[in-house]
Amino acid sequence: MTRKESIENAQRKVIQMKKHLKNVVDSSNDSEINYYTSLVMGLAGHPLLVHDLFGPSVILSNSNESQLKNWLPKVQNSEIIVAYAQTELGHGTNLKMLETTATYDPNIEQFEIHSPTITSTKFWPGNLGISANYVILQAQLFTLGKCYGPHLFIVQIRDLETHKALPGIRIGDIGPKFECNLMDNGYLSFDHVRIPRTHMLMKHCQVLNDGTYIKPKHTKLGYSTMVEVRAFLLEKNAMHIAQACTIAIRYSCIRRQGKIDPTKDIEAKILEYQTQQFRIFPHLARAFAYLATGRRIIDFSRNVLKDIRSGRLGLINELHAISSGLKAVITFNTSLAIEQCRLACGGHGYSLASGLPQLYAIVVAGCTYEGENLVMLLQMARYLMKKERTRIELKQDVNIFDELLDNDFCEIDASYKESLDMFKALANRKITDVYDRLEILKKQGKKEEYAWNECAVDLCRASRAYCRNFIAHIFVQYVNQIQEPALRHLLEEILKMFLNFEITECSADLIEIGYMNGQKLVKVRNELNEVLPFHQKYLGTLKNKKLEHSKL
């Protein structure tokens, strides 16, 4: 098929899938819907993915009551197909510098949407290239001669009958990508296109008939949509690691190579080699840790967004910060995990038949969409520096993201506490060191922006260290909540592997701050090596029928 034929075929499939959905799954269960969709459409996305993922949530989070009544049913019933148009050729993550303008004219009570430059062209929005007939648009709001920054507008871009571009609209598909080619990413520019005043989404801020601007209660409310998607990404990436590990482990159980015991006639399964276990199993442990973290953040984000929809600001700052850092850390480590699983399958991992090349190409995109990873780490770092300043000024400890951590959990054993103390101490040290360096540079006369840039690498390291600490705490709590003894025993083995692996990953930093020495490091590595063949205990448990496979 040509690219256009492939997308049209995917459109046909997804429409039939949605019609059949209510007959086969619980439509209120996101996990069932996602699994069902993956069976029908595969991993590469589809021409309604952004509409389904973004449309209802953006409308719910940003529309006033009359807009909700008008737009939400149309989006939910797919009467209109929406794309989310934010990223431009010139800017993506940096919303403040977006160039598309929405200028209000109080004489006719309309906004004029315009793309003043080539770099203001919207570029990359999913489902925009061929499928969408409306966009939820991020544009700089101008009213009464003043710019109020980026705001959301709903704009029709194609005729609902002919599907042709409306006057003043230049639109098309950006072409093939590394992967996800059933997703029709597109470009879009406007030539003085007019829309009614009521097409600005006005839940949090308003432009009145006369052009008066009513500002939002909180500057971060515009980030609520991106935060919700980042929370979803965490769980999704955990499942992608699990998929890759499943492929690599199954291959390793079948493929035989060489002999560990020269007296045996048959070659050894490659899963019996410690090197193969070390290549795969720590990433499997990360999959469980990231799954626990993703579910916690999804629950947290739903509560925060529910508060926002009820007019309460809640913990939007905390959610924005931690979701930014976790998105960066987890998407990057997911890409590394899948590459290691590909290598673990030898030459066969390079074949498309393994499923790993496609999975890698899909996952690696997550390092840049919904916020480029280094930018996300720096966004989290700004929050960490703000909290550190508060701690110093108040001369007391400030528990960062304490609302997300149940600090009253029971310890499984002392070794877990020791590991958690290491991660916490390292995170605190990274934060205080880079904060002190920033202050020294500013006292030397450096402007804050220049001082920040000179500390950017260490700021990213501080964010990574805190994310490792956060994930480890969440995973320990997650395992503690497991009631079924055999399952808990298995997850405890995986938890030990995760903690020891993460300690080895940051061992140089732990040695630097005095929390680790050569002797302790050898002990940690030995413990990691001991727990690597955990699958042998698992198989023994299955044989004893103490744990049904379905419980995982």
CA atoms within 13 A on the CB side of 467: 32
Domain ranges in the chain?
Answer: 50-216, 223-394+419-444+453-552
The pLDDT-based confidence of 409 (bands split at 50, 70, 90) is very low
Helices 456-480 + 373-394 axis angle, to 10: 80
Q: How is 60-88 classified by DSSP, letter by letter?
A: HHH--HHHHHHHHHHHHTTSS-EEEE--B
**Homologous superfamily in CATH for domain 223-394+419-444+453-552:** Butyryl-CoA Dehydrogenase, subunit A, domain 3 (1.20.140.10)
Highest mean pLDDT range out of 45-54, 55-64, 428-437?
428-437
**What are 14-27's pLDDT values in tens digits?**
999 988 988 999 87
Q: Which residue has the higher pLDDT, 217 or 9?
A: 9
Which is nearest to 340 in space by CA: 181, 527, 501? Answer: 501
Query: 89-103, 194-208, 467-481, 529-543: which has the minimum mean pLDDT?
Result: 529-543
Helices 30-41 + 3-24 axis angle, to 10: 140
Q: Which residue has the higher pLDDT, 251 or 45?
A: 251
Do 40 and 60 form a contact (C-beta atoms < 8 A)? no
Considering Cα of 370, then 373, then 374, then 376, what sign does the dihedral take? positive
CA distance 481 to 25: 28
- Coil, strand, or helix at residue 188? strand
Which is nearest to 487 in space by CA: 535, 533, 540, 548? Answer: 548
The pLDDT-based confidence of 541 (bands split at 50, 70, 90) is low
Quote the pLDDT of residue 544.
Answer: 52
Quote the pLDDT of residue 319.
Answer: 86
Quote the pLDDT of residue 552.
Answer: 44
**What are 264-287's pLDDT values in tens digits?**
889 999 999 999 999 999 999 999
Quote the pLDDT of residue 298.
Answer: 87
Quote the pLDDT of residue 293.
Answer: 94
Do 230 and 371 form a contact (C-beta atoms < 8 A)? yes
Kindly list the catalytic residues: 370
Given a cut of 90, is residue 245 above it in pLDDT? yes
Given a cut of 60, is residue 237 above it in pLDDT? yes
Q: Domain 50-216 belongs to what architecture?
A: Beta Barrel (2.40)
Cα angle for residues 404, 405, 411 (degrees, 5° grid): 160
- Coil, strand, or helix at residue 3? helix
**What are 299-345's pLDDT values in tens digits?**
888 888 777 666 666 677 888 899 999 999 999 999 999 999 999 99
Quote the pLDDT of residue 292.
Answer: 94
Give the 3-state secondary structure of 115-174. Answer: CCCHHHCEECCCCCCCCCCEEEEEEEEEECCEEEEEEEEEEECECCCCCCECCCEEEEEC
Quote the pLDDT of residue 287.
Answer: 97
**What are 447-459's pLDDT values in tens digits?**
999 999 999 999 9
Mean pLDDT, range 75-79, rounded to an integer: 90
Binding residues for FAD: 87, 126
Given a cut of 70, is residue 399 above it in pLDDT? no
Q: Output the average pLDDT for the chain.
A: 89
Given a cut of 90, is residue 547 above it in pLDDT? no
